[in-house]
Amino acid sequence: MNIITAKNIHRKFGEGNLETHILKGIDLEVAEGEFVAIMGKSGAGKSTLMYQLSILDEPSEGEVIINGTNIIDLDEKERTTFRLNTLGYIFQNYALVPDLSSTENVMLPLLMRGLAWEEAKKTAQEVIDSVGMVEKYENLPAELSGGEQQRISIARAIAGKPKILFADEPTANLDSVSGQQVIDLMTELNKRHNQTIVMVTHEREYAMGCNRIFHMEDGLIIDVEVLRNYGRGE
């Protein structure tokens, strides 16, 4: 089953003479359990596409269907709930709350989903253990290396068992060793828990564990490279 279907996605910014057409008609499908990468030069529209697929933005034209829900049918409040319950996000700058400990950062979305404090704390610490960050429960983000901060941000993204994990250049600010650890962690999540992942990356070697690579240029997908067929009848 396809967990993401994007049909003819366009995204324009500005109006009149200042209008810029950034996404120019994107069609793509991602199967449940698939790990896909989006690659392309800077400015190709990768982040803009991720925002459309992950409901952080709304296309000017076209449809996004996620887990059977056509996003057009949701109002703003329903979108927020949908994001919280269905999607997980990993950003290149980690986006952790600086004044909160690792545990509290991971607890945050769980508390927003209505979990009781103790339950959220227990779950958060289990997930922190699972990303290899045992004993770093109380550290503030500033007391962690970049790679460790990204692992906490992954813990936060997966704590609520999202249907889809979106990662926009998760290794952009990391050295190659920490970057590879982050990629290994995501690959393991995909293999072991059948986690669907959509990842933007600049580094081809980081995309080698993926099922397919969508290559973007100037607001369009110009090539779909199949590395390992998945859930597509082969």
Ligand X SMILES: Nc1ncnc2c1ncn2[C@@H]1O[C@H](COP(=O)(O)OP(=O)(O)O)[C@@H](O)[C@H]1O
Which CB, 38 or 120, lies closer to Mg ion? 38
* Residues in region 167-206 near ligand X by CB under 6 A: none
By CB under 6 A, is residue 106 in contact with ligand X?
Answer: no
By CB under 6 A, is residue 127 in contact with ligand X?
Answer: no
What is the closest distance, in whole angstroms, from the C-beta atom of residue 47 to Mg ion in the complex? 3
What is the closest distance, in whole angstroms, from the C-beta atom of residue 108 to ligand X in the complex? 26
Strand order in the sheet with 212-217: 87-90, 164-168, 196-200, 35-39, 212-217, 220-226
Between the CA of residue 111 and those of 85, 152, 162, what are the distances in Å?
12, 16, 15
Among 39, 47, 86, 156, binds ligand X (CB under 6 A): 47
Query: Which range touches ligand X (CB under 6 A), out of 45-53, 88-96, 106-114, 121-129?
Result: 45-53
By CB under 6 A, is residue 17 in contact with ligand X?
Answer: no
Residues 87, 54: contact at Cβ < 8 Å?
Answer: yes
What is the closest distance, in whole angstroms, from the C-beta atom of residue 8 to ligand X in the complex? 18
Q: x/- contact string, 43-72, with Mg ion (CB under 5 A)? A: ---xx-------------------------
Which CB, 43 or 132, lies closer to ligand X? 43
Please report, as ranges, the residues that interact with ligand X according to CB under 6 A.
13, 20, 22, 40, 42-48
Please report, as ranges, the residues that interact with Mg ion according to CB under 5 A.
46-47
